[in-house]
Amino acid sequence: MTSRTPLAVAASAGACALTLGVGAPALAAPPAQDDKAMVSVFHGIPGMTVDVYANGDELLGDFEPGTVTAPQALDAGTYDIQIFEAGRGPDGTPALEKQIKVPEGANATVAAHLTAAGEPQLTAFVNDVSQVDAGKARLTVRHVAAAPAVDVRAGGQPVFTGLENPNEDTTEVDAGTVNADVVLAGTDTVAIGPAELGLQEGTSTVVYAWGSAEDGNLALKTQTFGGMESAPDTVDAGGSGAAVAANSSDQWTAWAAAAGTVTLTVTGVLVARRVAGRRG
């Protein structure tokens, strides 16, 4: 399948049927050890159930699109990450392969998603789990969809503008319920939403805009971290700011979230196959 022009993709984004995947509130999690990192994984490639391998060992099997894993402790170090269509690894050709270096204390989500042009890609995002002011919540939006630039609105008013894949933007807002939608940049053409987001005080909520405008399956997925309240009478997350991700997978056993940075180095193989229309 050939990629459409940006204008065709934009037109499709305004016309497609959309779904929403809004997660549950965060739960506090134990702090990471000093020699550990905390990493979670988000699967944002539509129609492709995958197996995830690290250094040749399977970490996730039958990982479904639109799923974000619970953060788990991971030894700091360098990992060769391979993503296969389910049942085709580890001897087959991976759909994606990258080397990820995770330093001690790192807090990150690795996202398998589509580029704006619809090709599979791995991107590592650092999760901001620093303290927020009393009465506030942190909101982050990550554009990981095969779609043009978008604006993100709350209550009809733009909060983030001109957001492009694979970028993110973040701000602190008053805690409470926000009615949000995603529109094509500079227009009122709704691409995703509206959806109600419950932003609790002392949490950091990450919203992924994922899917494919061309294939009419754009969606939202949330990942929420807790334990960042300023008030002394709120839930203690052990000082790490780590939390269980919303709608996590029980299969995930070797990753997680704490505070720090993550660097990515391409190892050489990135099979740029068009998978947005594939059904796993």
| 167 pLDDT above the threshold of 90 | yes
Tell me, yes or no, whether 12 lies in a domain: yes
pTM for the model stands at 0.76
Quote the number of domains for the chain.
Answer: 1
Mean pLDDT, the chain, whole residue set:
76
157 vs 137: CA distance, rounded Å: 18
217 vs 196: CA distance, rounded Å: 19
> What confidence score (pLDDT) does residue 34 get?
64
Q: Using one digit for the tens of pLDDT, what is the confidence trace for 62-104?
A: 999 999 998 888 888 888 999 999 998 888 899 999 988 888 8
Tell me, yes or no, whether 273 lies in a domain: no
Q: Using one digit for the tens of pLDDT, what is the confidence trace for 181-215?
A: 999 999 999 999 999 999 999 999 999 999 999 99
Question: pLDDT > 90: what percent of the chain?
Answer: 54
| 1 pLDDT above the threshold of 50 | no
Tell me, yes or no, whether 271 lies in a domain: no
> What confidence score (pLDDT) does residue 134 get?
94
Mean per-residue pLDDT, 146-165: 96
Tell me, yes or no, whether 274 lies in a domain: no
Q: Using one digit for the tens of pLDDT, what is the confidence trace for 224-274?
A: 999 888 744 433 333 333 333 333 333 333 333 333 334 433 333 333 333
| 52 pLDDT above the threshold of 60 | yes
Tell me, yes or no, whether 94 lies in a domain: yes
**Residue 64, CA atoms < 13 Å, CB-side half-sphere:** 8
Tell me, yes or no, whether 191 lies in a domain: yes
| CA 175 from centroid of its chain's CA atoms | 21
223 neighbors 256 (Cβ within 8 angstroms)? no
> What confidence score (pLDDT) does residue 33 get?
55
| 170 pLDDT above the threshold of 90 | yes
Tell me, yes or no, whether 280 lies in a domain: no
Tell me, yes or no, whether 276 lies in a domain: no
The residue range of the domain holding 243 is 6-265
